[in-house]
Amino acid sequence: MKLTVIGCSPAWPNPGGAQSGYLVESDGTRVLLDCGPGVLARLREAEPWPTPDAIVISHFHLDHWGDLVPWVWGSMFQAGGHTPPALWLPPGGRAALADHGSRLGFASMFEQVFAAREYAPQAPFAVGALTLTMAPMLHYRMPAYGARVEAGGATLAYSADTGPTDALSELGRDADLFLCEATLRDAAADGVPRGHLCAAEAVAAAQRAGARRLLITHRPYELPLDEGLELAYDGLETPV
């Protein structure tokens, strides 16, 4: 399994950065975890129009799904003819996208481009060679889901956006790579209920999970990271 970081900025873009988008590949299958602003343009640097097998959205904060909008317009008006990717959404996601569509264009705009469906929490589903399990996280009052991706004996865990929660330990259990957010300078910078982690909390979550490798993401450019911690960056390619 291979991970390519397409974009890893937090809710505001780092200088020159794209927001959340992580391409996971195994045995010819390609799945994009999240599709935030800037991700589509980055993908188009590698191919005229991206053709992943599926896009999986963790939650409906704009920095994790916003580039589905230009993906629709491009597919309709410029880049037709490609088999649409499956679009896996959180529970209630099809209605949410219809609502967004009614405000941005028309209610069925997303369904006309993507093969949309909703995942069930903790119920594994297959996309080609990859098996994904989506687990509820803690992200303020927004339903959000982390992803556990398995293929060929390797496991990638992706926290998406979350505050401290026991669910992180199971999500990252024995993972070969734990891609974990660390948006905050410290825990005191967050609200109530919690919605993000600081770096120390991400490290603690990875240790509790027994993950073999921790890759920090969703980190503001302005915040330093302790030496010895590995930080994701746009364009990073790494085996899992």
Q: Give residue 56's pLDDT.
A: 99
Mean pLDDT of 119-134: 98
State pLDDT tens for residues 36-49: 999 999 999 999 99
Closest CA to 23 of 234, 199, 180: 234
Read off the pLDDT of residues 103-117 as tens digits, 9 standing for 90 and up: 999 999 999 999 999
Structural domains present in the chain: 2-239 (3.60.15.10)
Average pLDDT over residues 185-204: 97
Question: Kind and range of the H or E element at 149?
Answer: strand 145-151
The pTM is what?
0.97
63 HSE (CA, 13 A, CB side): 16
For all residues of the chain together, what is the average pLDDT?
97
Q: How much is the pLDDT for 182?
A: 98
Residue 17 has pLDDT above 70, yes or no: yes
**Look-up: residue for tokens 């120390």?**
200
Residue 233 neighbours by CB under 8 Å, 6+ apart: 5, 8
- Average pLDDT estimate for 80-97: 92
Give the integer Cα–Cα distance in Å for 178 and 168: 10
Distance between CA atoms of residues 167 and 208, nearest Å: 11
Largest CA-CA distance found in the chain, in angstroms, rounded: 50
Single-letter residue type at 125: F
Q: What per-residue confidence (pLDDT) applies to 80?
A: 66
Per-residue pLDDT for 188 more than 90? yes
**DSSP bridge pairs for 160:** none
Summarize pLDDT for 52-85 with one digit per residue, the tens.
999 999 999 999 999 999 999 999 987 666 788 9
Listing DSSP states for 2-46 in one string gives EEEEEE---SSPPTT---SEEEEEETTEEEEE---TTHHHHHHTT
Q: Which DSSP state fits 189?
A: G
Q: How far apart are CA 20 and CA 9, in angstroms?
A: 6
Residue 143 pLDDT > 70: yes
Cα 103 from Cα 18, distance rounded (Å): 24
Structure confidence at residue 83 (pLDDT): 84
